[in-house]
Amino acid sequence: MSADEKPRVLSAEDHALWRSITRSIVPLKRKRAQPLNPHTPDKTRKTVRPARVVATPAPTPPKAAPPLMRIDRRMKQALARGRIEIDARLDLHGRTQGEAHAALLRFLQRAQRDGARTVLVITGKGGGAAGGRGVLKRQVPLWLALPEFRVLVLGVEGAHTAHGGEGALYVRLRRGR
């Protein structure tokens, strides 16, 4: 950053997105240090009591959501040819990231509750006048991998050109409980 540039101030939407991403972080497991054995012969070492190692319980990670699966080639062909019906559609054009994130979550929850199995999410290809270069196109697949979405989503795959191609995604939903 040069001297005349101001640091970027994060909006409320940016903070909300950051919180949703950081909630999915699970700490790495560390190897515990092995205490020194005072009974091993070592002439260079003075006799020192080993430090007392207190084991603190690791925080239990939140319930791991099932991983996303790809939609297989045959199902994608059946969707493109109309043999499998798309149960619902959501168009995210013209929305901010915060609006799109909230709308996508509400849409998927409602679609699952209504018994939908396959939905189409239209993100657009990006590159509009604002110079966003496809922000939603990049972000929506990342959002769908978050735990809050993985409990709803079974699989994701890019849509066929007849349904929007690079600017849309087929989303297979898990059965509601």
pLDDT at 108: 92
Residue 38: CA atoms inside 13 Å, Cβ hemisphere, count? Answer: 7
Residue 30 within any structural domain of the chain:
no
Residue 47 within any structural domain of the chain:
no
Return per-residue pLDDT of the chain as tens, 177 residues. Answer: 555 667 777 788 887 888 788 877 777 776 666 665 656 555 555 555 666 655 556 555 555 656 677 777 888 888 888 888 888 999 988 888 899 999 999 999 999 999 999 999 998 887 665 555 688 888 888 888 888 888 888 888 888 877 878 888 889 888 876
Domain extent at residue 90? 70-173
Residue 3 within any structural domain of the chain:
no
Q: What six digits make up the tokens of 48?
A: 């020192």
Residue 7 within any structural domain of the chain:
no
Residue 133 within any structural domain of the chain:
yes
CATH number of the structural domain spanning residue 95 = 3.30.1370.110
The DSSP output letter for 168 is: E
Residue 48 within any structural domain of the chain:
no
pLDDT at 132: 55
